[in-house]
Structure 1
Amino acid sequence: MFDLFRSRERSVRYLLGALLLLVAASMVITLVPGYGTGWASPRDPSILAEVGDHRITVQEVRKVIQREMKGNVPPEMASIYVPSVVQQLVALRATALEAERLGFRVTDAELADIVKGLFPQLWAGGTFAGKEAYAQVLASQNMTIPEFEEALRTQALQARLDILALEGVIVTPQEVEEAFRRQNEAVKLMTIGVTAGVARNRVKVTDEDLAAYFEQNKASFRVPEKRSYLIFPISEEEIGASVQVPEEQLRQMYQQQQDRFRTEERVRARHILIKTIDRPASELPALEKKAQDLLKQLRSGADFAELARKNSEDPGSAAKGGDLDWITRGQTVPEFEKVAFSLKPKEISDVVKTQYGFHIIQVLEHQPARVKPFEEVRAELAAEAKRAQVYERMQNISDQIRSALVRSRDEAEKIARANGIRPVLAENIGPGDPVQEIGVNEQFSAAVKDLPVNGVTPVVQVAPNKLVVAQVVAITPA
């Protein structure tokens, strides 16, 4: 297939490009149960689509919406937004499946490099901060480690398929030459400059000329339609000021989410490494002797950090006195892990041989697996619970204002005042003009575009933390 995509025959390239598009399209059509009639599978309502062995579920779509829109999709937009998310997920999985069929794979090492590029803070000082820190970073994006890494693999496979498709675009030397000539072709011009002042006194414009010019260019003088709106902005900041989460609710959340706050057993360790990688076997005895000599110095009271700075060949930790920070099981090679997790705090190991060389390990602290106490996570839970309550209250207030505004403007303003919301009058707004409290927003523009005077918009999300309801109060025709 690679040779075919590199073909210089345009007809072959076009045919293969079209074929690839048809494959992607057919996967979307044939792999989505109920396509064209509904989004849920009749066998399992939680399954929205199936691509190969992968099932796209309601929960997966809900998480995407939570990450991208903070979970705030107005009911009026759900029928448009949710299917769009499903289609995106289907397309992503379908192209990744095609990439796998062509033999592409993403190795664990490649995946680790991608993660390192996205979250360099997890490798501060050259050492991985650990799965706990990794999980905490992802939790802020409402993702688990397996979900995130699966998404990265899928995106990487899609990128490789994109590259394969682009490799089919061959530019011949003749095409390069033609483009160069077009861009660099030059001509010589002789010009004569004539200023407006030269002709001004010679030109006479009559009223008839002006009238004729106006008739011919009416469109240039057309003033667009202007609209005025009464806007009710419902923001997280205003609503959140009055929301308090009961202590009992926080403790209930804590009890229900204990697994989330469970931390793995970990040790804080430092080491001195004498590397054996790329060293001939004949040097191994001397290298081991060097490690044993360093161990004797440590047993005699030498400073571990100082010896590590002078002798360790681990570039990531030597400058820090050999400090590896916190390590959980599975982060290091088995030989190192076995010894590190068996040592008591302050205890120094014998010389340990691994694939990297000879190590001397000291454990500084050892923490068993535990569940973080409530007080330690209370602030995090309170922020989450408050955010959820604020969003729910924002939606409820928006719905109340909209329902009242359809009946009576006074009634809507009364509800707004009761909730600390101040309506804003935005006057003489033309197409593309920024609107007070909103700016330039496509969703708002679409919502008000065809409304008559006194028409009311649905609830419109104009920012991740702001909803608005608006009424058209005046229209000045174009």
Structure 2
Amino acid sequence: MSNEQNNGQNEQQGQHAEEKKMSNKKLSKKMIAGITASVILLAAIAGGSYAYVKSQTVATVDGERITKDELYDTLVGVYGASALDSLVTKVVIDKEADKRDVKVKDSEIDDEVATYEESYGGEEGLKSALEASGLTLADLKEDIETNIKIEKLMAKDIKLTDDEVKSYYEENKKNFDTPESIEVSHILVEDEKTAQKVLDKLNAGEDFAELAKEYSTDTATAAKGGELGFITSGEMVKEFEKAAFALKVGEISDIVKTDYGYHIIKATDHKEAKESTYEESKEQAKEAALAEKISSEYSTWVEKLKADYDIKTKL
């Protein structure tokens, strides 16, 4: 199974689309920060030894030179204003957090990194995504720390009434309802012959988890005995989902073919759908309503905050 297929399979295993969107959005912000770093690096080089940088060649076209000085000017022209504004904003956020004694614990950052890893199918998946964007884990952690500072600072300034929370809950009630879910494990192999061999061993009484460790090509779950956890409608490809929800707890499916290969599925638990109530969901609704308000009010909030600082730019 290719890395691309593995990543696709992992995305479907219990992940939520919104988490992925958020992760992509944050990585996009860091891509801009990466460009910013390039601009600042070039600026530092130019400031330290301008004549040397000016003469350095970064490319040639039929013998015509393109110098670092030209590259720097282009980067500043295209990205300079927005890149500098991003750096100014980060310094303002850091200063405001210090002034208001807002701290970010290492454990908070680590929890966010763990969410990213889950979203990208594990530690290696996240590492690959970062490398593809020219970033490091340290870059991501720095971005997470800034985001948490923003959330904590804005949470101090935003007043959320009980009526607003209740209104948010009623408008988004479906998000708080618990859908029917089934807990499953699976064994994924590349060909039908191997799938039949594994199924025969299961029918002969061999242990599902041990066979998953031995045969499954899904590297994200094989070491855990094939455990996928609870899945709900819409999370898996339709062939897998149809077979899984047809099982009773303890039952093992026949061979199920999908675009990823041949699966054998075992149902280990089942939960009925449950409608939410406001009292049960109040704290979750409050957190979600606050997050929405932070998102919608961020631009206005940060501009007001910057007005409290003596900012001079020379770009």
Higher Rg: 1
Q: Which has the higher contact order (CA 8 A, sep 6+)?
A: 2
Q: Same fold (TM over 0.5)?
A: no
Compare the two structures and name the one with the higher helix fraction.
2
- Normalised by the length of structure 1, the TM-score is 0.31
- Normalised by the length of structure 2, the TM-score is 0.44
